[in-house]
Amino acid sequence: MLENLTQEQAKQKILEAVGEYYTAFHQKKGIKTTRIPYASRVYDQKEMQNLTDGALDFWLTSGEYTDRFEKELAKYLGVRFCSLVNSGSSANLLAFMALTSPLLKERRILPGDEVITVAACFPTTVAPILQYGAVPVFIDLTPGQYNLDVTQLEEALTPKTRAVMAAHTLGNPFNIAAVKAFCDRNNLWLIEDNCDALGSEYCLDGAWGKTGSMGDIGTSSFYPPHHITMGEGGAVYTSNPLLHKVIRSLRDWGRDCICASGQDNCCGCRFSRQFGQLPLGYDHKYVYSHLGYNLKATDLQASIGVAQLEKLPDFVQRRRGNFARLEELLTPYAHRLILPRPCPDSRPSWFGYLMTCREGVIRNQVTGYLEEHGIQTRTLFAGNIIKHPCFDHIRGTSHYRVVGELTETERVLHDSFWIGVYPGLEEKHLQVMAQTVGRALAEGF
């Protein structure tokens, strides 16, 4: 019985039982070939044991696991600061809103200022821009790479431009050298939406680094399909101390205080400072320097993330291997499909295998056939966010701006789809996927 054990002995006994439970009821021999998902969580007993460990401590908000996760992810990415949040969408919200802080003075983004981005996006890359009252400026994509077309950056630039905010599409880095040089030349902020690209690498000025670490702010998502998961979760990271201060403030209700949960008076002057028009000595724990949110994750989520981080290097290698194998298997169909290609000077940590139907091939017929035969497919998220109902009330107004015709974006909207490369896939799955694509192309064309 547990009452005859010390607390630590009892905990170890419970964790051992959790490991046995995983082996008996969660461990799988692999997914079936009758239904091959585009993505899924990959885990073992360590995640379940960490989750149980956190639950036994019953520290329900952020705590020791959160601190550990933030430090380990920052080290992996090569950045100074990392803040865990409750989702990738919250991470994008925080990243953008950090650039609106009065602490940034003349570089602060104001309503009416412009942010260059793309319309073939996940909506929460663009939503914070519009919600704040800034103006997204949409440029087109590069064929085959599906990232922002750097040749349009100068055309998109106006005196109101303040930032570039774009994703590394499905793990394929955009041309960071060109985008960063453009931003540096024009004193613009760069936000890397790294939610689909954790582990991707890019060679900038002769040195390899992780995507998300090369702009001013990077973001990640830990929703189950992503490179690592904690169920719901995300992160915002930067090497800029001022931006880190703003991000933490906005994440934690907008407060000025830097004390962690359960801490008091880290600054040593909790009751002795003057803030705004408050009384002298007003409790610093309840002083608010921003109009913020509560976007923190829990320690239970972080405990899963810590275990997932240990697996991340292997996950990345398996994603790259699966992508390479699909490329080999699908090359015979390159006359019917435009196959993806990596950005030069990059080593993608692929999120999926994205294809575009050539003339005469109808996407919905291909994806319909794949879905009917057990291969899960996805479009490139919104395809063109401007065409969605959420733009109905602002379509054709000055709330956004479009550069050129968005020709490639339109092609993605109508003709592109992708299938999975996630670490749970094995050779037999990849072969079935490729063979089914081949049959889909032959069926009815």
322 half-sphere exposure, CB direction, 13 A CA radius:
27
Quote the distance between the C-alpha of residue 297 and its chain's center. Answer: 15
Residue of 168, 226, 373, 429 marked catalytic: 226
Alpha carbon distance 411, 409 (integer Å): 5
399 in active site: no
Three-class HEC string of the chain: CHHHCCHHHHHHHHHHHHHHHHHHHHCCCCCCCCCECCCCCCCCHHHHHHHHHHHHHCCCCCCHHHHHHHHHHHHHHCCCEEEEECCHHHHHHHHHHHCCCHHHHHHCCCCCCEEEEECCCCHHHHHHHHHHCCEEEEECECCCCCCECHHHHHHHCCCCEEEEEEECHHHCCCCHHHHHHHHHHHCCEEEEECCCCCCCEEEECCEEEECCCCCCEEEEECCCCCCCCCCCCEEEEECCHHHHHHHHHHHECCECCCCCCCCCCCCCCCCCCCCCCCCCCCCHHHCECCCCCECCCCHHHHHHHHHHHHHHHHHHHHHHHHHHHHHHHHHHHCCCEECCCCCCCEECCCCEEEEEECCCCCHHHHHHHHHHCCECCECCCCCCHHHCHHHCCCCCCCCCEECCCCHHHHHHHHHEEEEECCCCCCHHHHHHHHHHHHHHHHCCC
Cβ neighbours around 374 below 10 Å, total: 15
Shortest CA distance to 21 belongs to which of 51, 41, 42?
51
Cβ neighbours around 212 below 10 Å, total: 30
Alpha carbon distance 163, 183 (integer Å): 7
How do beta strands 337-338 and 346-347 pair? unpaired
Residues with catalytic annotation? 226
